[in-house]
Amino acid sequence: MKQLEPNSNHAASPVSWTALICCRISDKKQLKGSGLDSQEHRCREHADIHGYPVEAVFTETVSGGKSLLDRPDIVQLLAHLDRNKNSGKNYVVIFDDHKRFAREAEYHLILRRLLRERGVRVEFLNFRPEESPEGKFMELMLAGQAQLEREQNARQSKQKSIARLELGYAVQSIPPIGYRYVQARGGGKELVRDEPLASIVTEALNGFATGRFSSEAELTRFLESQPEFPKDLPGGGIRQYKVVRMLRKKLYAGYVGMPKWGVPYREGVHEPLVSKANFARIQDRLDGRVYAAARKDLHHDFPLRGAVDCVSCGVPLTAAWSTGKTKRHPYYRCRTKSCDQYGKSIRKEVIEDQFVELLSSVQPNGKLLGIAQMMFEDYWAMQKDIAASKLSALRKQLSAYEKQIEALVDKIVTATNPRIEKACEDRIQGLEEDKCVVREQMEQLSKPRTPKRDLFELAVQFLASPCYLWKTDRLDLQRLVLKLAFPAHLSYCREGGFLEPQISLPFSVLGKNKAFREKWCREGELNSRPHHYQ
């Protein structure tokens, strides 16, 4: 359609305009609504009213605070204009609102210049910019106003988030795995457990803290075996760095905070998924070693991998599937080139059957479990006295932390060096976290203890049936049996089988292996009650 250019106050020859529409939302949450569709509908109506045929529509879902090169719709728009610069078309770009154009005054001016250089006109549904000095000034004022509103909104949102953090509430937009948001009583949202993911995360974190999972790779395999846990790789895999981030997340230990906003970590109102003591153990483990990538061949196919050493070189045996003429065969083997056992294969069924025989030899018989009960009762009484002593020591430790914090606060008040202030603040933050751990330990010691009978029954179930747990073919239970029954790596010889295994104390005392029991008795461990332990 031919019409006069609307921005001109003088007569002009008819010009035919072709419309390009730009729609933008600043938050992907708005994709759930009809924001983009509504903008496009209004812009098309504007184009129809003025007789502009619409050639293309460009949409964007990133924040307006990004640079122009980070805005895909603007990059595509400029590329489209450059491709059609010799087409003879006169383009007009339509935006729903001037705030959709750019919410930074600097980027607004840059984009207007880039479009002006290409001979493109810009129209907003609520404002029509003019090329006169007054029109440019008015446009600059509106761009500045849009930037002011954005920065004010950001400041207000930050202030609200800081207030929520100081009250003990998490403020991250997406809750971590194991939690979900619900409406809090006083307004806002709070975190609550999201089952069954919460229980899976708790098992994972506690398992890593206690050594049930000896590496991040082993923990990753456990999470991959849980159908409910979200996966992010083809084939049901989980990226290793996500597992490490989960282990580092203080929110799981009940902490909330944002140091970059000046809000140190503090006790949150949400229920933690791991104790603060276990979380501290996790951090110690992570800081003391580099995690290895998860290996796909470390699966239930080879449960002894990493737990059995070659008798000649002392290096753990590796394991793999070998391809024969008609089928694949599983083998364990030594891969140390300087070893005389290098490359010599051990059939999976041979070494694992020998391990089951070893495990059967240390499995307690029924008569000796009565001895275990007497030992457990003595230990239970001793632990009650130890718990009372620990509680008293923790109270003194908590008081010492508070005195240290008071002294550091006095230093900050009188300090003139910013570095000293920062060091004192960091130390106070560390002491506050230590106080949270101590309080949690005191709370645990003050709670009613699990009935003695229940605990003993759990212990007996494991002591009486390690072979049953091993034969479940569950890798996590098999690894647990290995760690609890054999505290050190097993040494294996192709000709002689397992040699001189180091057996954990409960199994060495109560097992069928008489030599271990006699050795333990000779060392005086049972001398206090000889009439019971014969």
Confirm whether 299 is domain-assigned: no
pLDDT surpassing 80 at residue 525 = no
Least confident of 193-202, 266-275, 377-386: 377-386
For residues 221 and 241, give the distance between their C-alpha atoms in angstroms, rounded to a whole number: 13
pLDDT surpassing 50 at residue 345 = yes
pLDDT surpassing 80 at residue 264 = yes
Confirm whether 142 is domain-assigned: yes
Beta strands in 202-349 (DSSP E): 255-258, 263-267, 308-310, 318-323, 328-333, 345-347
pLDDT surpassing 80 at residue 127 = no
Confirm whether 515 is domain-assigned: no
Mean pLDDT of 379-400: 79
For residues 461 and 86, give the distance between their C-alpha atoms in angstroms, rounded to a whole number: 83
Per-residue model confidence (pLDDT) at position 504: 76
Mean pLDDT of 202-206: 90
CATH number of the structural domain spanning residue 51: 3.40.50.1390
Please indicate, yes or no, whether residues 72 and 91 belong to a single structural domain of this protein.
yes
Domain boundary (425, 460, 495) is at: 460
Domain boundary (460, 477, 492) is at: 460
**SS3 state of residue 22:** strand
Mean pLDDT of 453-467: 66
Please indicate, yes or no, whether residues 93 and 215 belong to a single structural domain of this protein.
no
Confirm whether 112 is domain-assigned: yes
pLDDT surpassing 60 at residue 493 = yes
pLDDT surpassing 60 at residue 413 = yes
Please indicate, yes or no, whether residues 40 and 129 belong to a single structural domain of this protein.
yes
Helix ranges (DSSP H) in 267-315 = 276-288
Q: Which is higher by pLDDT, 449 or 396? A: 396
- Cα 352 to chain centroid distance, Å, stands at 35
Confirm whether 528 is domain-assigned: no
Confirm whether 513 is domain-assigned: no
**SS3 state of residue 125:** coil
Confirm whether 452 is domain-assigned: yes
459-488 exposure pattern, b = at least 16 Cβ within 10 A, e = fewer: eeeebbebeebbeeeebbbbbbbbebbbee
For residues 7 and 483, give the distance between their C-alpha atoms in angstroms, rounded to a whole number: 81
The total domain count for the chain is 4
Please indicate, yes or no, whether residues 39 and 143 belong to a single structural domain of this protein.
yes
Q: Which is higher by pLDDT, 303 or 526? A: 303
Q: Which residues form the domain of 353?
A: 308-363+465-503
Please indicate, yes or no, whether residues 103 and 74 belong to a single structural domain of this protein.
yes
Average pLDDT of the residues of the chain: 77
Please indicate, yes or no, whether residues 214 and 85 belong to a single structural domain of this protein.
no
Q: Which residues are CB-neighbours of 271 under 8 A, at least 6 positions away?
A: 191, 192, 193, 254
- Give residue 516's pLDDT band: very low, low, confident or very high (50, 70, 90): very low
Per-residue model confidence (pLDDT) at position 14: 67
Full-model pTM: 0.52
Please indicate, yes or no, whether residues 402 and 336 belong to a single structural domain of this protein.
no
Least confident of 65-79, 116-130, 242-256, 265-279: 65-79
Please indicate, yes or no, whether residues 91 and 224 belong to a single structural domain of this protein.
no
**Is-contact 142 104, C-beta < 8 A?**
no
Please indicate, yes or no, whether residues 430 and 356 belong to a single structural domain of this protein.
no
Please indicate, yes or no, whether residues 225 and 373 belong to a single structural domain of this protein.
no
Please indicate, yes or no, whether residues 371 and 444 belong to a single structural domain of this protein.
yes
Domain boundary (444, 460, 476) is at: 460
Confirm whether 171 is domain-assigned: no
Please indicate, yes or no, whether residues 231 and 359 belong to a single structural domain of this protein.
no
**Helix 197-210 and helix 276-288, axial crossing angle in degrees, nearest 10:** 60
